[in-house]
Amino acid sequence: HGNAIALNGRDCSVQRRFQKIIEEGPPIAAKPEIWPQMEKAAVALAQEVNYSNAGTVEYLYCFDDDTFAFLELNPRLQVEHPVTEMITGVNLPAAQLQVSMGIPLQGNPEIRRLYGYEPYSKEHIDFEGGSSDHPKRIPPKGHCIAVRITAENPDAGFQPTSGTIEELNFRSTPDVWGYFSVDSSGTVHEFADSQFGHLFAHGENRESARKNMIMALKELSIRGDIRTTTEYIIQMMTSPDFIENHISTAWLDERIKLGRNTPEAKLTRSEAPLVATVGALVTFVRKISGIYDDFVTMIKRGQSPAHDMIVVEDTVSLIYEDMKYVLQISQAGGESDSTIPVGTHGIFYLRAVSPSGQISADYVEARVHMLSDKGYLIHVGGRSHTAYATHEPTGLRLTLDGQTCVFSKEYDPTRLTTDVAGKLVKQLVSDGDHVEAGQAFAEIEVMKMFMPVKAHESGTLLWQLTEGAAMVAGDLMATMDLDHPELVKTAAKFEGSLTECAELRSTVDECKAKALDLYPHRNFTAAYSKLETIMKGYAVPDEQYEKALEDLGQALQDPLLVVYDVADALGPLSGRLDVKCHKDLMRLVNEALDGQTPAGEAAPFAERVLARLADHTQGLTPDVAAAFRAQCAALYDAAERFKGGVAARSIAVLQTLVALYMRCEREFNNVDKPKPFNEAVKDLRKDVFPNKPEAVFETCRSHRSFKQKNDLMCFVLQQIRDSLELRGRELGPPSPPTFSPGGTPSLRKSASITKLMRAASDQKVDATSLIKADLSELSAWTSKAYNRVALEARMLLIEQEQPSIAARRSRVAEWLRACLALSPGIEKVDNGPRARKMAEFLHLNIPLHDLVADFLTMGDEATQFAALELYIRKIYPLHNLRNLEASGGETNSGGLPLTLKFQFFNTFTDAAGLSTSTSVADLASSGASATLPGGKALRTGVFVKCASLEEFAAAVPALLAQFPAAQPGERVDNCLHVALLGGGAGVVGQCASASLDEDAFAGAAAAFLQGLAPKLSAAGLARVTVLTFVGSSGQEGGIPSIFTFRNGGRGKA
């Protein structure tokens, strides 16, 4: 029919390697007066060659002189034809069919509409000239942008990638339309073209279309083995150059050379420590999740997992942006609504590990929840992030909030591998040839593209694959013997703290700035949950451990705790409970909260609540009353928990922790010997949790962290023991932390809990009856792993049978009076009436270590000497004491402080059985001894009471004279006991009082004794033991601390 028309045009300047990435229309690069010329030239070309089809004429437009040059004519539709359709309203495939059917252009309804005519009219159209009634062509409708979605890696110069697609999620909207050649179960293989999708965004103008496209790209979700250009295009379309349309055919290639250093990439990129933190989290969570799956599978098969299979703490190393991050990660709990926390969700703590192996004191807290699509929702630094991870041969690929972050493996230039699937087309060098850095040594084919592979270092190349070999990502193509391996650049090591990152810092800031919650029941729940988490085997930072202990005590001391507990239980009963009863209970709660009734004691309030409930059930039938109690079970529990008062409630809380501990650990102990792990797992699977492998895992995980649990258990048992041990003492400040039995320090402390235990002691709360069976069972365990806990349990059982301090003080005073009546002074014979009377007292096994200071500072000197003798006979029960001799004091000569000298045989070791606070020493090792006939060495001991170390220092010459002269070549272990009980006890200018803690006193005393080492060694002294009050123990009601300094090294008493 001789007609040809131009349906506007498209701008395809954004391309790389001469392949289009973005097309848009109508073009706005060419000036308005130039564009009609370009259309007219295209029409003339089609008419000149009698072209009868749809086609595309391509031009190259020159900005400098506003000229254009012909490139080619594509005699077909291009994949971007929807751009033209959206701005013209003409269906191009339909128009193409009509042309092939012989229908003239004037007969196409959409073309008629484009030129301002009725779609189905017969009026002739003048395509070239137009008329006043019908313009030449209606202007384009808005603007349209098309983006190709390709399986290419923008971080590697748009290198093609291949692999499976796990998820492809896109929904068309009125403004954005798209299509894909694969779905969520598809694969992009290495023999196909890299493009597998196309998006088209329309808008009123170019800016509107651009924003619509960016929104669509952000909502597009593609996950799998492949890499895509989606993120890169988003950054590219937000650049000022693209927004202002300052682009050319070379523009994208120039951006590609910048890599990840474009301004837009820097603005949208997450901070490296955040990326490293999330990457380490995902890696660790995957590990423990895999361990859980393997463990449960083995249990189901009847197999026995290894005892060290479960981990709750690990170190993860990752390299990101040439920086190596080594992070320690701890799993600190699962979600509260999960019966069996597995590790696929929960709380985690991360700390940076320095190159020297030092673990940072600062930590980052993160909460992780695994999504149904195998992604992760991570809350860290006060923000939530979504993450997807893929482990590739070249390293971990992480998609964090839509941004792809690639972690690399340790750089090894001796292994030349491929990071894409393809075929080795040609070896550019021979086997054994020398290759320079940057030299291409191979050519590979990837998705119909031939690409060179270059060496990163110089060296001799040895081929491992032959030409034509098919490769997958990670395959080793060749190895290389490096010329200069010492010059290979390695990743720098991260030396900072994670909290220096702004995106992670808010967690720490929130924790520091968070004020104490006004609601004690919430504080109690949070603190108890943290301790319960420890008993479940999770790892909790020491800072939060200590905080949980203190918060627990503070919450229990709050008089409104029971009130809020009752109020919480009443909430769900509103509308279900009798109106009058509910109103009365709420009145009790409101009066307590408003201060109208005293809430200082929990027991009265709880009793009033229980009394009101009892009044309500009086007129009910037994069945109705039982139903009422079942309905109000939570309310009854809240009130009954405090029926015995705060002190009793506090003991009950500690007892529940003991029960949690025993519930797990008894499964790994027999009555008389430890139970092997495989036997314990077998019993758990068969008898305790049949058909519940998840519960077996939970129990084994709890047992795996028994050391941290033992620490908490020792603290709990010590606190319960304090409630018995402190009976009869005046209420004073809490004692400082002490060394636990066995010499292992127990640094846990809580002033608030100690105060509650003192209250429990004053109220004589039954602290052990409910757990006596557990304590008896625990005290019989013989495994070394439970020595500390078993000893604490035995001591608690013994303490339970002991009278109170007041009763013991009265009993000791009575016996001392009896001894003084028999002999007012030290007897000259070794087994006189007074010594026998003291032996009778010692058979009663009454503890003296917390009373001796009282009797050494009260009464006359005769009483003090008697107390001193009784104490020495107590701590040396098996040494056959002899030759006791009193000296010093006001009534004795020699100018010494109150001193008692004694001798004993070296047949037995010291059986003091005292709880020692600390032991430090480094005295020179030497000495002499005297040996009695029969081979028994006779040792000499001296016990002196001083007001300060200054007084002791002045008395040292006279005290050392008390020891017999050493014989050459012989050795004897003499001992010196020093009681520093004066009001101004000091350490050569330092006061051993509240201003010094135990470590400070021990260090100062050790330094002082070190200066006396030669003199002490010359006297044959093997150890010096100091009994004194340190820190708050010097206050009324405190218990003295005992320090032992051994000759030649650190010792334990």
Residue count of the chain, please give it.
Answer: 1053
Q: Is 498 in contact with 351 (CB distance < 8 Å)?
A: yes
Rounded to 10 degrees, the C-alpha dihedral 756/760/766/767 comes to 30
List Cβ neighbours of 874 (8 Å cut-off, separation of 6 or more): 842, 848
- Count CB neighbours of 691 within 10 A: 7
Q: Is 316 in contact with 283 (CB distance < 8 Å)?
A: yes
Q: Is 221 in contact with 402 (CB distance < 8 Å)?
A: no
Q: Is 343 in contact with 290 (CB distance < 8 Å)?
A: no
**Which DSSP letter does residue 687 get?**
I
Tokens of 399: 């998609």
**Parallel, antiparallel, or unpaired: how do β-strands 159-160 and 67-74 relate?**
unpaired
Task: Please report the DSSP string for 468-526 in residue order.
Answer: T-EE-TT-EEEEEEES-GGG---PEEP-S-GGGSHHHHHHHHHHHHPPPPS-HHHHHHH
The Cα–Cα gap between 689 and 997 comes to 48
Specify whether 76 is catalytic: yes
Q: Is 716 in contact with 658 (CB distance < 8 Å)?
A: yes
Helix ranges, 913-994 (H): 949-960
User: Based on the number of CB atoms within 10 Å of its own CB, is 38 exposed (0-12), middle (13-18) or buried (19 or more)?
Assistant: middle
Q: Is 367 in contact with 349 (CB distance < 8 Å)?
A: no
Q: How far is CA 384 from CA 216, 329, 367, 380, 1029, in A?
A: 22, 19, 9, 6, 52
Partners of 10 in the beta sheet? none
Q: Is the peptide bond before 745 cis (omega within 30 degrees of 0)?
A: no
Q: Is 370 in contact with 345 (CB distance < 8 Å)?
A: yes
Closest CA to 363 of 539, 152, 600, 214: 539
The Cα–Cα gap between 267 and 239 comes to 11
Partners of 26 in the beta sheet? none
Query: HSE on the CB side for 601, CA within 13 Å?
Result: 8
What are the respective helix, strand and coil percentages of the chain, to the nearest 5? 40, 20, 40
Using alpha carbons only, how large is the chain's radius of gyration in Å?
43
Tokens of 512: 């520091």
Tokens of 26: 């109508």
The Cα–Cα gap between 94 and 91 comes to 5
Q: Is 29 in contact with 11 (CB distance < 8 Å)?
A: yes
Q: Is 849 in contact with 735 (CB distance < 8 Å)?
A: no
Closest CA to 84 of 139, 8, 146, 16: 8
Amino acid identity of 393? Answer: P
Q: How far is CA 705 from CA 107, 424, 428, 692, 785, in A?
A: 83, 52, 57, 21, 11
Tell me which of 10, 16, 76, 227 is the catalytic residue.
76
Catalytic residue numbers, as ranges: 76
